[in-house]
C-alpha cells in the first residue's frame, strides 16, 4: 500500500480536552461537542487507499460530520458569538458535502474527478482553519492523536505453533533498514514469501514513505506480530509481520490508520463473526458469501463462480482452501484496531489468516490474506 490521500481530508475533528467543567466560551462549547464524538472517530478503520475504500471511508465521514454539525447547532451561544457559531456549523456541513462528493467520484472510478473533489474541499478546510484559530479551538479540527496501546491479546496457551526465530521488533528493524536503503532486493528480502514481490515503482514508494520512519510500538501474536511505524510526516502505518517458511518473521502488509493502528479493537467489532463466515463460505464454495467478506470489489481474491478451488494468483491458495475445508477451524492469535490474526493448522503448512478493519467502519473486519507458516516439529 503506502499510498497517501490528501491529509486535510482526514476527519480529525475530535479528541479529549481533559476538562469536566462547563465551558464558558464558544470555543470551549465546540470542543466539548467534538470530545463527545471521539469514540466514534477513534473506532473508524483504516484509511481508504482504493476507490472502493474511499467510498466506504467518505460515506461514513460525511454521516459523522453531519451529526457533528447538528450537535454544534444545538449550542446555546451568546448573541455576540452566534454569527461565528452559525459559520462553523455551515462550514462543517459544507465539508460533509465535500465528503459525499469524494465518495461519488470514487464510486465512478474516475481518478481525475476524485482529485478534483479533494481540491474543491480544501477551500472549505482553509475557511474552517481560520475560524479554528479565531476561536482558539484545541480539540475540533486538530490532528488525530495516533495513540499506541497494547491490546493484551495473544495466542491461547493451548495453541501449538512453530515459534519464529526472530521477534517482531527484530523484523520491523530489518524491514525499516531495507526501506531506508532503497534497495529493491533488500526490501524484497524482508517480505514474506507469499506477500508478493515488490517491483521498482513499489520499492521507490516504500523507500520514500518510510525515509526516516520509526517504530513506536509493537505487539507479538506468536507466529505473527504488528508494529506501529510512523513516517517523518506523522503518518501512522500499522504494519503486519508473519513467520515465513524458513522460520523468520517478515513483512506481509500495511495500512494507514490516523487514530493509531495498534490499539484494542473497537467494541462491537465483527472479527469473530467474519472468521466464522469466511470458513463457512470457503467450505461451501459459496462465491457470493465469500466475496462479501472481502474488503472491496477490487480485491484480487474475488471469485466468479461457486465451488471454487482457488482464488488470487498465489501458489498456496488451493492448499489453504483444502486445509480449511478439512480442519476444525482457526483460532485467534491477536486482534487490534487494524488487523486480526488467526491460526489454522494444515497438512503441509500451518496458516496465519489476516483480517483488516475496513475504512470508515467502526465494526467491520474483512479477509485480507493468508500466509503459510512452518508446522511445529
pLDDT by residue for the chain (377 residues), tens only, comes to 333 333 334 444 443 334 445 667 999 999 999 999 888 888 888 988 888 889 989 999 999 999 999 999 999 999 999 999 999 999 999 999 999 999 999 999 888 999 999 999 999 999 999 999 999 999 998 887 788 999 999 999 999 999 999 999 999 999 999 999 999 999 999 999 999 999 999 999 999 999 999 999 999 999 999 999 999 999 999 999 999 999 999 999 999 999 899 999 999 999 999 999 999 999 999 999 999 999 988 889 999 999 999 998 888 999 999 999 998 889 999 999 999 999 999 999 999 999 999 998 788 999 999 999 999 98
Amino acid 11: pLDDT:
46
Length of the chain: 377
Q: How far apart are the first and last CA of the chain?
A: 35
Q: Could you identify the residue written with the cell 495466542?
A: 155
* Residue spans of alpha helices (H) in the chain: 26-36, 38-42, 51-73, 82-108, 111-135, 168-181, 184-189, 200-209, 271-284, 287-291, 317-326
Amino acid 224: pLDDT:
98
* Residue spans of alpha helices (H) in 140-240: 168-181, 184-189, 200-209
Please tell me the distance from the alpha carbon of residue 92 to that of residue 121, in angstroms, as a whole number.
11
Amino acid 41: pLDDT:
82
Contact between 313 and 197 (Cβ < 8 Å): no
Amino acid 44: pLDDT:
86
Amino acid 12: pLDDT:
45
Amino acid 110: pLDDT:
86
Amino acid 69: pLDDT:
95
Amino acid 24: pLDDT:
76
Amino acid 22: pLDDT:
61
pTM of the model: 0.88
Of residues 7, 46, 40, the one with CA closest to residue 239: 46
Cβ within 8 Å of residue 294, ≥6 positions away: 301, 302, 366, 367
Amino acid at each position: 500500500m503506502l499510498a497517501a490521500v490528501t491529509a486535510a481530508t482526514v476527519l480529525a475533528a475530535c479528541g479529549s480536552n481533559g476538562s469536566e467543567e462547563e465551558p464558558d466560551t464558544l470555543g470551549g462549547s465546540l470542543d466539548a461537542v467534538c470530545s463527545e464524538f471521539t469514540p466514534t472517530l477513534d473506532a473508524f478503520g483504516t484509511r481508504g487507499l482504493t476507490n472502493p475504500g474511499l467510498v466506504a471511508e467518505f460515506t461514513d465521514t460525511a454521516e459523522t460530520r453531519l451529526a457533528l454539525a447538528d450537535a454544534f447547532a444545538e449550542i446555546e451561544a451568546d448573541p455576540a458569538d452566534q454569527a461565528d457559531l452559525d459559520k462553523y456549523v455551515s462550514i462543517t456541513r459544507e465539508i460533509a458535502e465535500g465528503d459525499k462528493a469524494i465518495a461519488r467520484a470514487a464510486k465512478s472510478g474516475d481518478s481525475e474527478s476524485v482529485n478534483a473533489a479533494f481540491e474543491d474541499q480544501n477551500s472549505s478546510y482553509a475557511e474552517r482553519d481560520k475560524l479554528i484559530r479565531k476561536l482558539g479551538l484545541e480539540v475540533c479540527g486538530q490532528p488525530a492523536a495516533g495513540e499506541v496501546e497494547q491490546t493484551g491479546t495473544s495466542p491461547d496457551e493451548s495453541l501449538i505453533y512453530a515459534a519464529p526465530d526472530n521477534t517482531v521488533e527484530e523484523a520491523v528493524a530489518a524491514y525499516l533498514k531495507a526501506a531506508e536503503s532503497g534497495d529493491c532486493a533488500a526490501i524484497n528480502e524482508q517480505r514474506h514469501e507469499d506477500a508478493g514481490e515488490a517491483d521498482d515503482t513499489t520499492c521507490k514508494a516504500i523507500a520514500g514513505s518510510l525515509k526516516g520512519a520509526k517504530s513506536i510500538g509493537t505487539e507479538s501474536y506468536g507466529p505473527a506480530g504488528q508494529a506501529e511505524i510512523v513516517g517523518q510526516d506523522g503518518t501512522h502505518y500499522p504494519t503486519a509481520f508473519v513467520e515465513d517458511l524458513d522460520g523468520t518473521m517478515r513483512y506481509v502488509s500495511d495500512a494507514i490508520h490516523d487514530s493509531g493502528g495498534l490499539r484494542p479493537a473497537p467494541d462491537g467489532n465483527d472479527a469473530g463473526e467474519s472468521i466464522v463466515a469466511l470458513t463457512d463460505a470457503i467450505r461451501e464454495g459459496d462465491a457470493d458469501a465469500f466475496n462479501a467478506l472481502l474488503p472491496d470489489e477490487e480485491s484480487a481474491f474475488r471469485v466468479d463462480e461457486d465451488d471454487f478451488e482457488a482464488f488470487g494468483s498465489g501458489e498456496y491458495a488451493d492448499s489453504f482452501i483444502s486445509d480449511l475445508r478439512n480442519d476444525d477451524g482457526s483460532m485467534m492469535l491477536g486482534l487490534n484496531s487494524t488487523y486480526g490474526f488467526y491460526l489454522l493448522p494444515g497438512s503441509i503448512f500451518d496458516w496465519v489468516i489476516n483480517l483488516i478493519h475496513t475504512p470508515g467502519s467502526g465494526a467491520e473486519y474483512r479477509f485480507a490474506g493468508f500466509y503459510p507458516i512452518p508446522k511445529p516439529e
